[in-house]
Amino acid sequence: MALVKVCERLAQTRQIVVHQRARQSLDEVVAGVRYAGFDVKRPLANEAATIVVINSWKVALKLARSHPEARVLCWLHVFPGRHNRSFAAELKAADIQIVCVSKTHADWLRQFLGAEAPSIRFIYNPIADHLAPDDTPRDPDLLLFASSPHKGLGQVFRRFEALRERFPHLKLAVADPGYLAWPTGRVPAGIRPLGRLEHSDLIGWMRRALCLFAPQDEFAETFGLVIAEANAVGCPGLLQRGLGANDEVASDSGQCIDTSDPEMIAERIANWRTAEPASPSAQARPDFRLSSVTAQWSALLGGRPLQPVRPEPSRTHPERIAS
């Protein structure tokens, strides 16, 4: 979703082509962005001014070799494994810059790679410019988990079950994007499974929920888009302090606590329950707004912006995204 939003905004002034390895259908243009297939064994069909590769350092290096005239960036959304360290010197030699999604992410990567690290910077993932609180009242008994279950949902269940002994009317709605099955252990009472939701529906649940409930210390986010979006509509997150980018993304430090302490969880929930239902308990970070994020991408791409891509675009120097 971050890639699509950024590309659609950049396509207003540049030619943007997104190459997808899994694409089986014909090329198509959606909201000004051309989507095309991708075979890593073959060079791209047309000359590219800039190539942005999603996550894969191997693919970035291959494309840098097959397109020596192009600038190659790697847009990193994950914490790489130890095997990736062996590519660091090659990335540096090929002048491939890594773009992380938070300062926390970038600082971690520099430490992880050490002296062999290539150039590393960060640009946040975007939230919509228009996301803001409205007059939807918050349900003091409704908590929301909005992530894949591998992101600590089993631990969240256990801590919700303990919290419910204090507040027996609490319910936990669980929105699961559905791309990964994951064991979570016994499902406690008070759980309301929502399954996969349209984005607008998820935002609606964020508006109604007392908080985004994620008291887990097992999975670290490089950014945490659901935290940023929830905060933007006034919904705070109950998050583990010091885990991944939680402290950086949460709009205030009160959202990050020691979630291994049930008393601290109960105290924070009690405080939010006493707040005025129509009053936002969090706020948007301006530097996460799509307009700010795409301005940074535009500056990074540099050069003279091109005309928007049309159904039959010209073949001159498009920006390329390989995923």
3-state SS string over 243-312? CCCHHHHCCCHHHEECCCCHHHHHHHHHHHHCCCCCCCCCCCCHHHEHHHHHHHHHHHHCCCCCCCCCCC
CA distances from 82 to 4, 79, 86, 109, 218 (A): 29, 10, 8, 11, 18
Least confident of 74-78, 134-138, 221-225, 305-309: 305-309
pLDDT of residue 308: 38
Query: What is the average pLDDT score of the chain?
Result: 92
CA distances from 120 to 98, 191, 249 (A): 5, 41, 19
Parallel, antiparallel, or unpaired for β 120-122 and 191-195? unpaired
Identify which has the larger pLDDT, 236 or 278: 236
DSSP state of 234: T
Check: CB of residue 280 under 8 Å from CB of residue 255.
no
Q: How confident is the model at residue 45 (pLDDT cuts 50, 70, 90)?
A: confident
Q: Each residue of 68-123: pLDDT tens digit?
A: 999 999 999 999 999 999 999 999 999 999 999 999 999 999 999 999 999 999 99
Instruction: Give the residue from 173, 171, 164, 243 showing the smallest Cα distance to 206.
Output: 173
Taking the C-alpha atoms of residue 79 and residue 98, their distance in angstroms, rounded to an integer, is 12
Taking the C-alpha atoms of residue 305 and residue 168, their distance in angstroms, rounded to an integer, is 57
Check: CB of residue 230 under 8 Å from CB of residue 206.
yes
pLDDT of residue 263: 98
Taking the C-alpha atoms of residue 255 and residue 267, their distance in angstroms, rounded to an integer, is 12
Taking the C-alpha atoms of residue 130 and residue 111, their distance in angstroms, rounded to an integer, is 36
Q: How confident is the model at residue 277 (pLDDT cuts 50, 70, 90)?
A: confident
pLDDT of residue 15: 93
pLDDT of residue 302: 87
Q: Each residue of 148-186: pLDDT tens digit?
A: 999 999 999 999 999 999 999 999 999 998 888 888 999
The pTM for the full model equals 0.91
pLDDT value at 238 more than 70: yes
pLDDT of residue 306: 42
